[in-house]
Amino acid sequence: MDRAGGNDAVRRVLKFLHTMGSAGVLGAMAALVVMLALAPAPAALPGYAAIRGAMGAVATWVFLPSLAVTLLSGLLAMALNRAYLNAGWAWVKLATGVLMFEGGLVYVQGPMRREAERSALALAGLLDPAALAASLEGERGTLWVLLAVATANVALGIWRPRILRIPQ
């Protein structure tokens, strides 16, 4: 395989990884929004602990790895494709992708993992159930904001508008 063919294959793999990562991010956030909507009150502790455990698992094992794959494949694609370096839409995607990664770690994965642990402790009788669900509204709002940003990133990748042209 010649060099051009090798680069084309790498680009296709990166595009595949970026697309699959994006699907994972959007799917995980949609699932988390639904689970938040269906979560019983902490007073129904067994059900609450079960759904919070599932949410912690989705945030840790689907959302975060998908977000990492999306960000890394996008960064590698930018490094390998010179056209992306001059495309404003790619830089906007990079900036919002980094913000999503930070927001995902700090406001989604971390709190959901902690609440899953806390609800398990409450179920075991080691924590007062009244201490649960303190971050529920913040989690819901954060997920909706990140869903909107992720959707905008997908739109930018599909339509690639001529914004912020970087001079050569």
pLDDT tens per residue, range 108-127: 999 999 999 999 999 999 99
pLDDT at 1 over 50: no
- What share of the chain has pLDDT > 90, as a percent? 74
Highest mean pLDDT among 4-8, 95-99, 132-136: 95-99
DSSP secondary structure letters along the chain: --HHHHHHHHHHHHHHHHHHHHHHHHHHHHHHHHHHHHPPPTTSHHHHHHHHHHHHHHIIIIIHHHHHHHHHHHHHHHHH-HHHHT-HHHHHHHHHHHHHHHHIIIIIIHHHHHHHHHHHHHHTTSS-GGGSSTTHHHHHHHHHHHHHHHHHHHHHHHH----SPPP-
- What's the whole-number mean pLDDT along residues 85-107? 90
- Per-residue pLDDT tens for 129-154? 999 998 888 889 999 999 999 999 99
- Per-residue pLDDT tens for 15-40? 999 999 999 999 999 999 999 999 99
- Between 139 and 164, the more confident residue is 139
Rounded to the nearest integer, the mean pLDDT of the chain is 91
